[in-house]
Amino acid sequence: MAPNLGYVIAAYLVTAIALGGYTLRLFARARSAKRRARRIAGRRRGGV
Partner 1 sequence: MAATAERALGRATSRGGERTLGISALLALGVSAVLSLVVAPPDAVQGEVQRIMYVHVPAAWLAYLSFFVVFVASIAYLRTKKTRWDRVAAASAEIGVLFTALAIVLGMLWGKPVWGTWWTWDPRLTTTAVLLLIYVSYLAIRRITDNPSRRARWAAVVGIVGFIDVPIVHLSVVWWRSLHQGSTVFRLGGPEIEGTMLLALLVGVAAFTVTYAYLMTLRLRVGRLEERAAREALSPLIGAER
Applying CB under 8 A, the residues found at the interface with partner 1 are 2-5, 7-8, 10-12, 14-15, 18-19, 22-23, 26-27, 29-30, 33-34, 36-37, 40-41, 44
| DSSP states along 25-47 | HHHHHHHHHHHHHHHHHHHHHTT
Q: Is 17 exposed, middle or buried (0-12, 13-18, 19+ CB in 10 A)?
A: exposed
In the complex, what is the shortest distance from the CB of residue 11 to partner 1, in angstroms, rounded to a whole number? Answer: 4
In the complex, what is the shortest distance from the CB of residue 39 to partner 1, in angstroms, rounded to a whole number? Answer: 9
Residue type, 26: L
In the complex, what is the shortest distance from the CB of residue 18 to partner 1, in angstroms, rounded to a whole number? Answer: 5
